[in-house]
Amino acid sequence: MYERVLEYLIAMGVAGLTLGSFIEALGFPFPGGPLLLLGGFLAHRGHWPLYQVGAGAFLGFTAGSLLAFFIGRHFGLRFIRRWGRCLKITPARLERTRTWLDRSAAGFIILGRFVPWVSNVTPYAAGLSRLSPGHFLFFNTVYTVMWAGLYISLGHVLGRQAQPVLDLLKRHLPLSAALVFLAWLLFFLVKRRVKRGQGTG
């Protein structure tokens, strides 16, 4: 299983990683971070050049962020009302984010985008705000370097330790599967409890 997934990722090449980063920046549900983690891992194993992984992630995420920014600027709430369901963005959430962003654009774009339920709405809200494209590009570049650098570096480090971990998982596969299932179940129950709390609040 692991070998087949690895072969598929190698076959995608850096272009696949770039496209994944682009989709992540647009706000669609997509595991962009884990993809970069694998990119760093594959770079350490010698399958992809490390500089290409970094450049692909940077270019893809920057292009996606700028497209989302200009969609927010030129289409704004009209776009969100029609397509927001695909992005899990509501008009009310977009307006609330824009208000926060107007208070501190730098802090919100650079640090706020690390929060999962904030990251996907940020470029659209920035487009609706008074922020200039140049300032957005600068703040977004700082975030992109931090985000991509973190995941790629972690993947690169994990590349050194991956084989011992994989061997351990293979030896204890039933226990590993049970732990993954319990972690998923705990996440599901907590998420449902939070939603119920929001509905009654």
Instruction: Indicate whether 142 belongs to any domain.
Output: yes
**CA–centroid distance for 17 within its chain:** 12
Determine how many CB atoms are found less than 10 A away from the CB of residue 46: 9
Q: What is the pLDDT of residue 164?
A: 64
* pLDDT recorded at residue 85: 75
Backbone angles phi, psi at 20, to 5 degrees: -60, -40
Q: How far is CA 36 from CA 2, 65, 95, 135, 179, in A?
A: 17, 17, 31, 26, 24
**188 in any annotated domain:** no
Q: Which domain does 24 fall in, by range?
A: 2-173
The CB density around residue 201, as the number of other CB atoms within 10 Å, is: 5
Q: Tell whether the model's pLDDT for residue 7 goes beyond 60.
A: no
Query: Binning pLDDT at 50, 70 and 90, where does residue 52 land?
Result: very high
Decide: 112 and 122 in contact? Cβ < 8 Å.
yes
- Comparison of pLDDT for 42 and 52, the residue scoring more: 52
- Domain membership of residue 189 (yes or no) is no
Q: Name the residue with higher pLDDT: 190 or 42.
A: 42
Q: Which residues contact 68 (CB under 8 A, 6 or more apart)?
A: 25, 26, 27, 123, 124, 127
Q: Identify which of 18-22, 27-31, 103-107 has the greatest average pLDDT.
A: 18-22
Share of the chain above pLDDT 90, in %: 24
Residue 181 within any structural domain of the chain? no
Q: 123, 68 in Cβ contact below 8 A?
A: yes
Task: Kindly report the pTM of this predicted structure.
Answer: 0.72
Distance CA 201, CA 198 (A): 5
* Within-domain flag for 192: no
Residue 106, pLDDT above cutoff 60: yes
What are φ and ψ of residue 48, in 5° steps?
A: -125, 140
Would you give the DSSP letter of residue 172? T
Neighbour-count burial of 36, counting CB atoms closer than 10 A to its CB (0-12 exposed, 13-18 middle, 19+ buried):
buried
Give the integer Cα–Cα distance in Å for 102 and 108.
9
Q: Classify 121 as helix, strand or coil.
A: coil
Among the listed ranges 55-69, 151-165, 166-180, which one has the minimum average pLDDT value?
A: 166-180
3-state secondary structure of 120: coil
The lowest-confidence range among 20-29, 43-52, 102-111 is 102-111
Domain count, the chain: 1
Report pLDDT for 2.
41
Top-ranked range on mean pLDDT: pick from 44-48, 115-119, 187-191: 44-48
- 183 in a structural domain: no
